[in-house]
Amino acid sequence: MLITFEGIDGSGKTTQISLLREKIEAFGRIVRVFREPGGTAVSEKIRLMLLDPEMDINPVSELLLFSAARSQLIASTVKPLLEQGAVVILDRFYDSTVAYQGYGRGAVALETLDRINTIASHGLEPDLTFYLKISRDTSKKRMQLDVSDRMEQSGDIFYQRVINGFDVLAAQLKRFRTVDAELDVALIHDQIWAQAREYLSR
């Protein structure tokens, strides 16, 4: 089973993923967690390039770098784990590419982006996607103490487009579960666990 988490920076994905992981393990399943971009030696190197504020990266190159990092992680690690029956949780997947590179940057047409995403993910699709929705203002407040990476320096208009992209995906795709991530951590976790447990019990 593949579970993905999506949302803009500061939406609390990391915290919610570790809480969910504990619950699924207590449920008796093996759980592996990876972040995108990252999770393999090649993908972590690509991540460093993508997030380095000194790097001037054109939108199409950016799209292809995120895709290259993904292809490596999925083929070398995620697919084999799923075949062994593990539950894999991804901190971001190709919905981030649609929201950030598609809606945010306008790197290529959305139909083209879908084809690239299918190639880079080796045809893999999530079973469940939790979209942790927060406003741009909340994201900025939560990220205040962090040093901005290259993506986070992209500005308010970019982030509004990204939020809109996630909202469109949430309205279109049945696997999406939108969670109000402005709420308290424990409340958010309860909602996520209720939905994941229902799926795991099927």
Interacting residue ranges for ligand TMP, rule: CB under 6 A: 9, 35-37, 66, 92, 96-97, 100-101, 151-152
Q: Which is nearer to ligand TMP, 92 or 136 (CB)?
A: 92
The CB-of-105 to ligand TMP minimum distance in angstroms stands at 8
Q: How far apart are CA 176 and CA 166, in angstroms?
A: 10
| Residue facing ligand TMP at closest CB distance | 100
Q: How far apart are CA 45 and CA 49, in angstroms?
A: 7
The CB-of-65 to ligand TMP minimum distance in angstroms stands at 9
Residue type, 194: A
User: φ, ψ for residue 31 (rounded to 5)?
Assistant: -120, 135
Q: Which is nearer to ligand TMP, 66 or 200 (CB)?
A: 66
In which order are the strands placed within the sheet that holds 128-133? 31-35, 87-91, 2-6, 128-133, 176-180
Mention every residue, 6+ apart, whose C-beta is less than 8 A from residue 198: none
Q: Which is nearer to ligand TMP, 29 or 45 (CB)?
A: 45
Q: How far apart are CA 104 and CA 168, in angstroms?
A: 13
Q: Which is nearer to ligand TMP, 104 or 189 (CB)?
A: 104
The CB-of-116 to ligand TMP minimum distance in angstroms stands at 10
The CB-of-85 to ligand TMP minimum distance in angstroms stands at 25
